[in-house]
Amino acid sequence: MAKYLVTGGAGFIGSHVCDALVSRGDSVVVLDNLSTGISHNLDQLVGNPSFDFISGSILDENLVGSLVASVDHVLHFAAAVGVFTIVDKPLESLTTNLRGTENILEAAAKHGKPVLIASSSEIYGTAGSDGKPLNEESNRVLGSPLKSRWSYSEAKAIDESMGMFYHLEKGLPVRLVRFFNTVGPRQVGHYGMVVPRFVDAALHGTPLAVYGTGNQSRCFCHVYDAVAAVLSLIDSDVAIGQVFNVGNDVEITIADLAKKVISSLGSSSSIEMISYEDAYPNNGVGFEDMQRRIPDISKIKSVIGWEPKLGLDAIIKDIAASIGHN
């Protein structure tokens, strides 16, 4: 049994990781400032002697230092995420995503604690729009650094570099995980995530708004699969000093996704086509404008034997059930 610090543990992916760790017998301390996370996501763990919640920020160096010193492993999920957060508060978001990660790495190096850092497929920018699967070595294609929409991509990429250099120069055991679109229960639709938005509309019988032509496609990974990948990676010594894509490589167009959600849930909703200009009045800030982005997951398959097991039917069913329960 080990003790884990999970930053961002009140968030979507982090809270599922906490559930999985506690249920396998480990103990967990969450550090979260509840900026996008929800304390309700951890209700099931409250009162469990293997669980503790600390309300605070990864920008608080002293707090981070004392928490890192008190655990065996650090899982760093805290980040400023979501189109609206990044565009509305660009400086605060960049600071959280850069300085916050640096604080975690610095404390981990000082106390000699292994770290897993959550990165993102956003680091690729618009690379992969041609439908060629993106592997861990693929090049990135980004716009101007003065456009706030790229700052999340840039910060996550620097986080990866920082993590790798802490490993190479200071011998810190660092694992890097590049999550592609991850979906499932507890994910909130108001950050522009298309699946919970569609499921919510279908359950309420309101139109499913498809932006643009609907021909843009996405690959969706169930959060339970992503959590299984995280657990396998933290248990694996060969994962140290490496980056892994974690995602599902089955592709679907957004128009087909809307039809699938409606038919799976037996909904009476219609589909409404909305132009990008109307969907994003501030033009150019949307993250939903990539035509395609397919993960190449052959590395994680061959190194630790992980692959996704759950498809869109399970994703839609589980999100619908969780919305129904709220």
Ligand X SMILES: NC(=O)c1ccc[n+]([C@@H]2O[C@H](COP(=O)([O-])OP(=O)(O)OC[C@H]3O[C@@H](n4cnc5c(N)ncnc54)[C@H](O)[C@@H]3O)[C@@H](O)[C@H]2O)c1
Q: Which is nearer to ligand X, 81 or 261 (CB)?
A: 81
Of the listed pieces 164-172, 174-182, 280-288, 304-312, which binds ligand X according to CB under 6 A?
174-182
- 130 is written with which tokens? 């041609």
Q: Which of 247, 301, 302, 287 is nearest to 134 (CA)?
A: 247
CB 57 to ligand X: min, Å: 4
Q: Is 181 in the site for ligand X (CB under 6 A)?
A: yes
Q: Is 242 in the site for ligand X (CB under 6 A)?
A: no
**Helix, strand, coil share (%) of the chain residues, nearest 5:** 45, 20, 35
Note whether 32 and 53 are within 8 A (CB).
yes
Q: Residue for token digits 């008190």?
A: 70
Residue positions annotated with a catalytic role: 152
Q: Is 8 in the site for ligand X (CB under 6 A)?
A: yes
Half-sphere exposure for 126 (CA within 13 Å, toward CB): 11
Alpha helices in 208-253 (DSSP H): 223-234
Q: What is the CA radius of gyration of the chain?
A: 19
By CB under 6 A, name the one of 21, 87, 100, 166 that touches ligand X.
Answer: 100
Of the listed pieces 21-29, 56-64, 230-238, 256-264, which binds ligand X according to CB under 6 A?
56-64
* Backbone φ, ψ for residue 11 (5° rounding): -85, -175
DSSP of 243-261, one letter per residue? EEEES---EEEHHHHHHHH
Q: Which is nearer to ligand X, 7 or 148 (CB)?
A: 7
Q: Which is nearer to ligand X, 118 or 267 (CB)?
A: 118
Q: Show contacts with ligand X in window 62-81 (CB under 6 A).
A: 77-81
Q: Is 312 in the site for ligand X (CB under 6 A)?
A: no
Note whether 83 and 287 are within 8 A (CB).
yes
Q: Which of 147, 140, 155, 190 is nearest to 285 (CA)?
A: 147
Note whether 220 and 315 are within 8 A (CB).
yes
Site size with ligand X, rule: CB under 6 A:
29
Of the listed pieces 6-14, 230-238, 289-297, 305-313, which binds ligand X according to CB under 6 A?
6-14
- 188 is written with which tokens? 């909130």
CB atoms within 10 A of CB 74: 25
Of the listed pieces 43-51, 54-62, 206-214, 291-299, which binds ligand X according to CB under 6 A?
54-62
Q: Is 96 in the site for ligand X (CB under 6 A)?
A: yes
Q: Which is nearer to ligand X, 123 or 208 (CB)?
A: 123
CB 32 to ligand X: min, Å: 4
Q: Is 151 in the site for ligand X (CB under 6 A)?
A: no
Q: Show contacts with ligand X in window 103-142 (CB under 6 A).
A: 118, 120
* Interacting residues with ligand X (CB under 6 A): 7-8, 10-14, 31-37, 57-59, 77-81, 96, 100, 118, 120, 179, 181-182
